[in-house]
A and B are shown apart, each in its own frame.
Chain A
Amino acid sequence: MSNRTLPAWIDIGLIPLINICLAFIVSAGVIMLIGESPLEAVQVMLFGAFGYGEGIGYTLYYATNFIFTGLAVAVAFHAGLFNIGGEGQAYLGGLGVGLICLMLDSWLPWWALLPFAIVAGALFGAAWAYIPAYLQAYRGSHIVITTIMFNFIASALMVYLLVNVLIEPGSMSPQTRSLAEGATLPYMYQVFAAFGIEIEQSPLNVSLILALLACVLVWLLIWHTRWGYAIRMIGFNEKAAVYSGINTRRTIVISMCISGALAAMVGINEVMGAQQRVLLEFVAGAGFTGIAVSLMGRNHPLGIIAASILFGALYQGGAELSFEISTITRDLVVVIQGLVILFCGALAYMLKPTLEKLFLRYTLSKAARRDNLAEEAQS
């Protein structure tokens, strides 16, 4: 293969687009395999996700989680680390948010409680990411394996806590008591109502603003600070980073902690916003979806926002689909998610050699024609 690279628009625009299309084409094949019409499914999904107010609300509510976990994966990725532990970090982060809210919710209104909740959640999530990061940086154990293990440990720990310790007395299901009314995050429809605009009710809450804020902060951190430079340098070439005097071990730990803290913000959206209590499995795979989101969004906040909305639409549209067509359930969304990870991640460069060849042939033939023209003009 030649080292000649493609122009940027093909590399970061066209190739991901083709890969996503491939993932969707295969998904359509799956829908046909189970005897339904892909076109009808797409229609139902699109309408369910964007066709009416409540649908849009749900889409953006799911997207909020995915922005957080997508950013989490991306920050680690810039440092060359693959954080599969978003699920566990979000889970533990939710525990932090829940604990501080349960402690303070009778005294503080939501706007005073929110900073504490963010800090507590971030600390818990970062702490859960710190251990694998420390082990990777200082003891040489592989971060992928340890974060997988930590997902399971987090899950076991949370089941234990919710069943034995934090369970609401007298309750049968493993969940904490509900938060006090004034302590939960306002829904977006309430915010809009305060300005006199009517929108339909949905679990979408002010954490969406927090998510967009996080995107800006991550963008500033990665591309406009010394730390971000160090992080990207490690991801680009760790040896070069060592020789240029960057403390790679400390930077690895820091970027993983930031990653864990970002994943933990799922806890704000779920625990303080939508569910208003800590319950089992509230992360519901958002940590893994974050991987797809980050791969699809090419680790850039703007790409992540777009990919999050797409996945939010898939989740909400998938829910709608399972209402409309009885043979399709939300598991179809899991299939699509797997295919997106496959094509945008593992097979990301499948088409590159082919496109390179096509592009070279095109440019060469253009150059040859130009030369011909020039010769003709001379003669």
Chain B
Amino acid sequence: MNDVLLMLVSILDSTIRVSTPLILCAMAGVFSERSGIVDIGLEGKMLAGAFAAAATAAVTGSAWLGLGCAIIVSVGMALLHGFACITHRGNQVVSGLAINILASGLTVTLGIAWFAQGGQTPQLSGDARFAALEFPGAAAVADVPVIGAIYSELLSGHNLLVYIALLAVPLTWWVIFRSRFGLRLRAVGENPQAVDTAGISVAWLRYRAVMCAGLLCGIAGTYLSTAQNAAFLKDMSAGKGYIALAALIFGKWHPKAALFACLLFGFLEALSVRLQGVQLPVIGEVPVQLMQALPYVLTVILLAGFIGKAIAPKAIGIPYNKER
């Protein structure tokens, strides 16, 4: 009984670890896509953020400076995205794709030039990383059955960015659904003409939305390279941005639902690591690749309307042209 509990707790524990960048990116996607800007560039912004964070932390020895730098770089890329598709009404998918490709090439090129370690940054340690936070009394209650394990393993012992990610969800919900900015942001994603007629600048609203997205992607990238890992590795985002995009759609562009989608996808990943090479009763061994592909398959099935309907913001992907 206790063994089962411990295993469950440890799977849930790694679920939270794996889900953190997904949650941050999905919230970034909520901001951007609710304002009508398709954000395929989540992956690229996160990757660039991861590199900026690790590079800064390696040079300065401060994880906090790394976080700041990651946010600046990621917001910079978000502004580039905005410049292309808000100011110049370019194709948003093409722009996002360009950002992803650019980030994947640029991080490695600069990494090799600056650190000469095959595109990696030096190993980070000490203050250059975000360390685990121990909740008060976690060690003391660790031996208490059930509650002890849950408190000390599952809730305590993560780093700050994990808790920031979990806080980002209610915050995003509040901003999107309870603040004036959020009301306008949703309106600009559904009907930009109406917002424009009300005398509010569509472009400036959308710019602010993509900047929010950049900020969150920067934190996600920082988590990857300075908290989860101790260095930047080539292409370390490894499709997480796309999984977050899938989770965003799976969560129907809603923060709470997207959170659960992220946790589900994270759980699948954590489970697939655990199940590798294990013979299950009846089904036999589950291929790892099946578990990896499951988020994508589920999203495709959802988009096809077989499990509920995902309705995107109406004006998504359409550049706003005032003169029409």
**For the complex, is B85 an interface residue (Cβ under 8 Å from A)?**
yes
Taken residue by residue from 204 to 236, chain B's Cβ proximity to chain A (1 for < 8 Å, 0 otherwise) reads as: 000000000000000000000000000000000
Chain B: minimal CB distance from A233 (Å):
20
Question: Could you count the A-B residue pairs with CB atoms below 8 Å apart for me: how many are there?
Answer: 154
Please pick, from B89, B98, B289, the residue contacting A349 in the complex, using a CB distance under 8 A: B89
Stretch at the interface among A112-120, A155-163, A265-273: A155-163
Chain B: minimal CB distance from A73 (Å):
11
Which has the most chain B C-beta neighbours within 10 Å: A131, A145, A163? A145
**For the complex, is B68 an interface residue (Cβ under 8 Å from A)?**
no
The CA of A100 and the CA of B114, in the complex, are separated in Å by: 47
Indicate if the CB atoms of A145 and B119 lie closer than 8 Å: no
Chain B: minimal CB distance from A154 (Å):
9
Stretch at the interface among B7-15, B124-132, B181-189, B294-302: B294-302
The CA of A325 and the CA of B109, in the complex, are separated in Å by: 12
**For the complex, is B105 an interface residue (Cβ under 8 Å from A)?**
yes
**Chain B residues within 8 Å of A332, by CB:** 105, 109
Interface residues of A in 323-364 (CB under 8 A from B): 327-329, 331-339, 341-342, 345-350
Q: A152-B242, A347-B84 are in contact. Are A288 and B109 (CB under 8 A)?
A: no
Please pick, from A145, A334, A337, the residue contacting B245 in the complex, using a CB distance under 8 A: A145
Indicate if the CB atoms of B289 and A157 lie closer than 8 Å: yes
Stretch at the interface among A29-37, A57-65, A298-306: A29-37
Please pick, from A148, A152, A341, the residue contacting B94 in the complex, using a CB distance under 8 A: A341
The CA of A157 and the CA of B293, in the complex, are separated in Å by: 8
**Chain B residues within 8 Å of A219, by CB:** none
**Chain B residues within 8 Å of A250, by CB:** none
Indicate if the CB atoms of A345 and B90 lie closer than 8 Å: yes
**For the complex, is B290 an interface residue (Cβ under 8 Å from A)?**
yes
Q: A145-B299, A152-B242, A349-B88 are in contact. Are A160 and B94 (CB under 8 A)?
A: no
Interface size class of chain B, counting residues whose CB lies under 8 Å from the partner chain? 35 or more
**For the complex, is B112 an interface residue (Cβ under 8 Å from A)?**
yes
Indicate if the CB atoms of A339 and B102 lie closer than 8 Å: yes
The CA of A341 and the CA of B90, in the complex, are separated in Å by: 11
Indicate if the CB atoms of B289 and A341 lie closer than 8 Å: no
**For the complex, is A4 an interface residue (Cβ under 8 Å from B)?**
no
Q: A35-B113, A141-B303, A144-B93 are in contact. Are A152 and B108 (CB under 8 A)?
A: no
**For the complex, is A84 an interface residue (Cβ under 8 Å from B)?**
yes
**For the complex, is A74 an interface residue (Cβ under 8 Å from B)?**
no
The CA of A35 and the CA of B290, in the complex, are separated in Å by: 45
**For the complex, is B246 an interface residue (Cβ under 8 Å from A)?**
yes
Chain A interface mostly: helix
**Chain B residues within 8 Å of A336, by CB:** 105
The CA of A140 and the CA of B302, in the complex, are separated in Å by: 11
Indicate if the CB atoms of A149 and B105 lie closer than 8 Å: no
Please pick, from A33, A164, A334, A347, the residue contacting B105 in the complex, using a CB distance under 8 A: A334
The CA of A142 and the CA of B99, in the complex, are separated in Å by: 21
Q: A142-B303, A156-B289, A346-B91 are in contact. Are A148 and B105 (CB under 8 A)?
A: no
> Which residue on chain B has the smallest CB distance to residue A295?
B94
Chain B interface mostly: helix
Indicate if the CB atoms of A335 and B293 lie closer than 8 Å: no
Indicate if the CB atoms of A141 and B300 lie closer than 8 Å: yes
Indicate if the CB atoms of B293 and A327 lie closer than 8 Å: no
> Which residue on chain B has the smallest CB distance to residue A343?
B98
Please pick, from A34, A156, A291, the residue contacting B110 in the complex, using a CB distance under 8 A: A34
The CA of A1 and the CA of B38, in the complex, are separated in Å by: 25
Q: A145-B299, A146-B303 are in contact. Are A346 and B85 (CB under 8 A)?
A: yes
Indicate if the CB atoms of A160 and B88 lie closer than 8 Å: no
Indicate if the CB atoms of A33 and B97 lie closer than 8 Å: no
**For the complex, is B3 an interface residue (Cβ under 8 Å from A)?**
no
> Which residue on chain A has the smallest CB distance to residue B107?
A331
**For the complex, is A139 an interface residue (Cβ under 8 Å from B)?**
yes
Indicate if the CB atoms of A345 and B91 lie closer than 8 Å: yes
Indicate if the CB atoms of A335 and B105 lie closer than 8 Å: yes
Taken residue by residue from 34 to 55, chain A's Cβ proximity to chain B (1 for < 8 Å, 0 otherwise) reads as: 1100000000000000000000
Indicate if the CB atoms of B242 and A342 lie closer than 8 Å: no
**For the complex, is A282 an interface residue (Cβ under 8 Å from B)?**
no
**Chain A residues within 8 Å of B88, by CB:** 346-347, 349-350
Taken residue by residue from 272 to 294, chain B's Cβ proximity to chain A (1 for < 8 Å, 0 otherwise) reads as: 00000000000000010110110
The CA of A335 and the CA of B290, in the complex, are separated in Å by: 32
Indicate if the CB atoms of B296 and A152 lie closer than 8 Å: yes
Interface residues of B in 143-169 (CB under 8 A from A): none
The CA of A337 and the CA of B246, in the complex, are separated in Å by: 25
**Chain A residues within 8 Å of B290, by CB:** 156, 160
Known: A34-B109, A135-B300. 20 other contacts (CB 8 A): A131-B300, A139-B305, A141-B300, A144-B40, A149-B296, A149-B300, A160-B289, A160-B290, A288-B97, A327-B113, A328-B109, A331-B119, A334-B108, A335-B106, A338-B101, A338-B106, A342-B102, A345-B91, A347-B88, A348-B90
B residues contacting A by CB (< 8 A) are: 38, 40, 80, 83-85, 88-95, 97-106, 108-110, 112-114, 116, 119, 239, 242, 245-246, 249, 287, 289-290, 292-293, 296-297, 299-300, 303-305, 312, 323
21 residue pairs bridging A and B, Cβ less than 8 Å apart: A35-B113, A132-B300, A141-B305, A144-B93, A145-B299, A146-B303, A148-B40, A149-B242, A149-B246, A149-B296, A149-B300, A150-B300, A152-B296, A153-B293, A328-B112, A334-B105, A335-B105, A342-B84, A342-B99, A345-B97, A350-B88
**Would you list the 6 A-B pairs with minimal beta carbon distance, nearest first?**
A334-B105, A338-B102, A34-B113, A346-B95, A141-B303, A338-B101
